[in-house]
Structure formats: structure tokens, C-alpha cells
Amino acid sequence: MAFHEKKIVASIAPYRQLLIAFLVIALISLAFLKFASEVMEGETLAYDRRILLALRDPANLSVPIGPKWLKLAMIDITALGSFAVLTLITVFAASYLVVVRKTRTSLMLVASIVSGALANSLLKAFFVRLRPDVVPHLVEVNSASFPSGHAMNAAMIYLTLGVLLAGAETARGPRIYLMAVAITLALLVGCSRVYLGVHWPSDVVAGWGAGAAWALLCSYASRALEPKR
């Protein structure tokens, strides 16, 4: 292949990645809409109720299963998906990127997270699903239920940061470890919402899917817009 042809292929590669990402996001969006339709029609309600009830003492639904320390641990874990904690993590991560002179990546990170949080608020306002009422809530909540904001925002932020950190590593082992940690944090936050009785399991699944899709799109966009060295 001639030199100028190789140069052309290299120049369009980032945009090809964006097109692939767009296709993937479109497919995930269709799956999300299909799942949301089933949720709003009540097709998942039986499974949702069964899981929530399975996590409580049948004799006293205000008591979750497991040792007493597990409830306290879940309350601590669910805070990892709270607005305050995720905002601090975003500010610290964005500031670090500015310090290491990756301002464009920092702006992309902030823009993706802010837009993702707004998307979650719009989805909640659109679907307006009520919180679970089959078991008492173990923490205070005051917003709509679908999709889970904690699950979506945690998946979006932790996975995005995981991709950024893993991208700075050359060895395969550390990259796998970083992504495993990011995925584990997102899963734990989502599971804590169900354990505490403040979300239907389907809310959390939808939040995971939407957050992961948003992180995927933003990672592709960041890679495509990054200047070549």
C-alpha cells in the first residue's frame, strides 16, 4: 500500500471507531427500549417482587437476610454511587488529567458524566416508575425508580475511569485488574440498591446497561478525538 493510502486509512480510523460505537449504542438502545417496555407493562414485576422478598426475613420484611453487619456494609457500598461521592471522584479525576496536561480528555470526561447524569434524570421523568412497595426501604429515597440512578451513574463513571486508567497501562494483567475493579464497583452499587429495597431489580439492570453503553460511547469518542502523537 502506498504511503499516502496508509495515511488516509490512519486518518479515518478514529471515525470508523465512532461509527462502530454508534452502531453498538443503537443496538443497546433498542434492547433498552424493549426491556423498558416490558418493565412498564408489568411483565417483570413477578420476578422483581420475588427477588425483593427473597432478600428479607419472611417473619419481618423490614429485616434483610444475612448478618447485621451486611446491612451496614450495603449502606456504605450504596454511597459509592451517590451524587456526592461520584461528584468528588469526577472532580479529582478531571483535575488530575488537567495536571498531567490532558485537558481535552478531562473535558471529555466531565462532559460525558454530566450529560449521562442528565440523561438519567430525563429517563426517570419519562418513565415515572414508582419505587418498590413490597418491602420497607432501608435508606431514604425521593426520586422515580426507573432506571436506577445509582446503578447507571456508577457504571458510567467507574467504567469510564477504568477505561482511562487501563489505557495508560501497557501490560495485560494490570489492564484486566483495573477493568475488573471498575465492573465490580458498579455491580456492588447496583446490588446494594436491591438489597436495601429501594429499587426493583429491573431498575438496576436497566441502569447498568445504560451506564455501560454511555461509558462505551464516551470512550470511543475520547479515543477518536485524541490528537495523534
- Using only C-alpha atoms, the chain has a radius of gyration, in whole angstroms, of 20
**Active site positions, annotated:** 150, 199
- Residue type, position 65, single letter: I
Distance in angstroms (rounded) separating the CA atoms of residues 209 and 78: 18
Residue with cell 432478600: 55
Handedness of CA 57, 61, 65, 67 (dihedral sign): negative
Distance in angstroms (rounded) separating the CA atoms of residues 137 and 223: 41
Q: Report helix, strand or coil for 62.
A: strand
Handedness of CA 159, 160, 164, 165 (dihedral sign): negative
Distance in angstroms (rounded) separating the CA atoms of residues 149 and 170: 33
In contact, 65 and 57? CB cutoff 8 Å: yes
